[in-house]
A and B are shown apart, each in its own frame.
Chain A
Amino acid sequence: MLETERVSKRFDGLVAVDAVDLAVERGEIRGIVGPNGAGKTTLFNLVSGLYGVTGGRIRLGGRDITEVSPHARAAAGLGRTYQTPQIFPELSIFDNVAVGLAGARPPSLRDALVGRRRLRHDARAAVEATLGFVRLPVGLGALAATLSFAEQKRLELARALMGGPAVLLLDEPAAGLNRVEIDALVELIGEIRDRGVTVVLIEHNMKLVMGLCGRITVLDFGRKIAEGTADEVRRDPLVVTAYLGRSAGAGV
């Protein structure tokens, strides 16, 4: 569903992502782990098109999207969230989520000038349904800035889901959440997958990764050093030294 082929990104002298091959199957929940600075978020930025690659190809559903602009990738079925929620704080909850419709129907002058009562009605219904799905029971008119951190993350997730993504990239979805919120998140990600969405997530919370992800990819210094099931990765000596460190036995 999502493939990268020897994808690389170089910033001046620093190689942030080094010839990474990734092949995520349809319906999979893939975990990307690695120490800070391993290139995980850079990889997401390459896949979502915020950065251009220095080398390699990216394919979404078999289609080469390496040269496609970020908004067109979103329209082609690629959704994402960010480490710190990137919301529109001065916009209403409704508007924040409705922006996610832009990929499916680019906002145009014509829609603005002609009535489109039906369009408005459909948008509202879709926004309400999505907010219900991510369990964000808040008034549509409130400003997004008034939400808590955890709520902002769910708001951002709702916006990403509005585009009807085939592949969803989640950058540290559990960061900053308490245990109850993480349990709810795990359940939610499972439901998203059950809807046929392929999920790729970056996460430091190993319990979450081990519980959710069928396969895990480990990055270190921009390179892929291991890949496999939770058990395989956990036993990999390279991973133990590079990522889990000496306290691995005690920690995981």
Chain B
Amino acid sequence: MTVSWLRGFWTPASAATVVALAAVPLLLGGSPYHLFLLNTIGVFAMLALGLQLVLGYGGILQLGYAGFFGLGAYTSAILTTHHGWPFPAAFVAAMVVGVGGAVLMCPIVRLRDVNFAMATFVFGLILELVYNQWSAMTNGPIGFRGIPAPTLFGLTVLEPQHYYYLIFVALVAEYLLIFRLLHSPFGTALRAMRENETACRTSGVDVTRVKVTLLLVSSAIAGAAGSLLAHMNGFISPPTFGWATSVALLMMVVLGGVRSLPGAIVGAAVIRLVVEQTSVLGQHSNIVFGVALVLFMAFLPTGLAGLAGGLSARMPWAARFGARSVTP
């Protein structure tokens, strides 16, 4: 029931998860490789959550999402490196430019289904092309080097475990934002829109406005994630923001479970780990992804979240906790 806005976020499970995630760097004892991997997962979890909002809940096939990720990354990189902007300002600018990119995409909101999906895919391709070709700004395919580590409140975030907490805070903030959004009248309209657009319109819901808002919010999120990635790695190059990443993000949402926020995070973790393990395959890893996506759609359409939900419903404690659903 969606009478409450934020009530329902803090369950024993969610509190334990937040505490456990906060403790991870202490447990790893500062292994730079594992922390780097975790930080990358964190950034992609932010993206997967943003895509879950627009695609999973909104039912809007945004297939060029990685392009907006790139907008944030390049904006933040250029402003801090060439123009001496402080990190917080560049971070905000990354979100603003992400939103700006989405505004350019707004005219295609009236397209439907496959046409809309194709338009977003092409939009992503165009952005990737810009990152490759506009060498004066992006340094082209060679990549953009020397992005400074972020400075917050006079402290420079250099250590991976400190960067972990930066991403962690951003991820939790994003999660809460989306959670709240979904439990507000806007969230109700959004879920209603996916089920029956006609009934929504004659009930007074401005469907176009809802879709535009979703695209803008999700693009701001992608911009923020891009900024965090750029400063974490100190180096960015166009393939990170290309169509293959958009497809990987789509897989994170599908694998984790459409319309599940925890699912998006788990999906991001699994896919990034698979990417790490299959990177020796080079280009062939796309084949692995393709086959995996088809298998998942065929055998586990509700994703890992659906699998977890199905399992926990069969457990002895299901009667006690089963009624409390995490997803609205």
Task: Annotate B140-180 by CB proximity to A: 1 below 8 A, 0 otherwise.
Answer: 00000000000000000000000000000000000001001
Residues on A with beta carbons closer than 8 Å to the beta carbon of B5: 112, 115-116, 120
Q: Is the CB of A95 within 8 A of B213?
A: no
Interface residues of B in 168-199 (CB under 8 A from A): 177, 180-181, 184-192, 195-196, 198-199
Nearest chain A CB to B190's CB is how many angstroms away?
8
Q: Is the CB of A112 within 8 A of B3?
A: no
B270 adjacent to chain A (CB < 8 Å):
no
Q: Is the CB of B201 within 8 A of A71?
A: yes
- Segment of A22-30, A35-43, A98-106 in the binding face: A98-106
Complex: A101 Cα to B189 Cα, angstroms: 10
Q: Is the CB of B202 within 8 A of A80?
A: yes
| Count class of interface residues, chain B | 20 to 34
With A92-B2, A124-B3 already in contact, the answer to whether A107 and B189 are too (CB < 8 A) is yes
Task: Annotate B292-303 by CB proximity to A: 1 below 8 A, 0 otherwise.
Answer: 000000000000
Q: Which of A48, A98, A99 has the most CB of B within 10 A?
A: A99
B283 adjacent to chain A (CB < 8 Å):
no
* Nearest-CB residue, chain A, relative to B7: A120
- Segment of A52-60, A83-91, A204-212, A217-225 in the binding face: A83-91
| Count class of interface residues, chain A | 35 or more
Nearest chain B CB to A82's CB is how many angstroms away?
7
A-B pair count, CB < 8 Å, reads 128
- Which residue of B185, B195, B201 contacts A105 across the interface (Cβ within 8 Å)? B185
Complex: A92 Cα to B1 Cα, angstroms: 6
Q: Is the CB of A100 within 8 A of B186?
A: no
Q: Is the CB of A88 within 8 A of B205?
A: no
Q: Is the CB of A86 within 8 A of B184?
A: no
- Which residue of B3, B184, B191 contacts A91 across the interface (Cβ within 8 Å)? B191
Residues on B with beta carbons closer than 8 Å to the beta carbon of A101: 185, 204
With A74-B203, A92-B2, A163-B204 already in contact, the answer to whether A86 and B198 are too (CB < 8 A) is yes
Nearest chain B CB to A111's CB is how many angstroms away?
6
Nearest chain B CB to A172's CB is how many angstroms away?
16
Residues on A with beta carbons closer than 8 Å to the beta carbon of B202: 48-50, 70-71, 73-74, 79-80
A238 adjacent to chain B (CB < 8 Å):
no
Q: Is the CB of A95 within 8 A of B198?
A: no
Residues on B with beta carbons closer than 8 Å to the beta carbon of A48: 202
B77 adjacent to chain A (CB < 8 Å):
no
Q: Is the CB of B204 within 8 A of A74?
A: yes
A75 adjacent to chain B (CB < 8 Å):
yes
- Which residue of B1, B177, B203, B207 contacts A141 across the interface (Cβ within 8 Å)? B1
- Which residue of B3, B187, B195, B209 contacts A140 across the interface (Cβ within 8 Å)? B3
Task: Annotate B1-24 by CB proximity to A: 1 below 8 A, 0 otherwise.
Answer: 111110000000000000000000
Q: Is the CB of B203 within 8 A of A103?
A: yes
With A113-B177, A163-B203 already in contact, the answer to whether A120 and B188 are too (CB < 8 A) is no
Q: Is the CB of A120 within 8 A of B3?
A: yes
B105 adjacent to chain A (CB < 8 Å):
no
Complex: A50 Cα to B203 Cα, angstroms: 12
Residues on B with beta carbons closer than 8 Å to the beta carbon of A113: 177, 180-181
A197 adjacent to chain B (CB < 8 Å):
no
Residues on A with beta carbons closer than 8 Å to the beta carbon of B204: 71, 74-75, 100-104, 106, 163
Residues on A with beta carbons closer than 8 Å to the beta carbon of B196: 86-88
Nearest chain B CB to A247's CB is how many angstroms away?
36
Q: Is the CB of A159 within 8 A of B188?
A: no
- Which residue of A88, A90, A116, A140 contacts B199 across the interface (Cβ within 8 Å)? A88
Q: Is the CB of A99 within 8 A of B2?
A: no
Interface residues of B in 204-224 (CB under 8 A from A): 204-207, 209-210, 213, 217
Interface residues of B in 67-107 (CB under 8 A from A): none
Complex: A222 Cα to B276 Cα, angstroms: 65
* Nearest-CB residue, chain A, relative to B181: A112
Residues on B with beta carbons closer than 8 Å to the beta carbon of A106: 204-206, 209
Nearest chain B CB to A64's CB is how many angstroms away?
19
Residues on B with beta carbons closer than 8 Å to the beta carbon of A109: 181, 186, 213, 217
Nearest chain A CB to B210's CB is how many angstroms away?
7
- Which residue of A50, A94, A98 contacts B201 across the interface (Cβ within 8 Å)? A50
Chain A to chain B: the 4 pairs with minimum beta-carbon distance, closest first: A103-B204, A112-B184, A141-B1, A74-B204
A-B contact pairs, 25 of them (CB 8 A): A71-B203, A71-B205, A79-B202, A80-B202, A87-B196, A88-B196, A89-B195, A90-B195, A94-B1, A95-B188, A99-B188, A102-B185, A102-B200, A102-B203, A103-B203, A105-B185, A107-B184, A107-B188, A109-B181, A111-B186, A112-B181, A112-B185, A113-B177, A115-B5, A141-B1
Q: Assuming A90-B195, A99-B192, what are 4 further A-B pairs, CB within 8 angstroms?
A: A88-B195, A99-B205, A104-B204, A107-B188
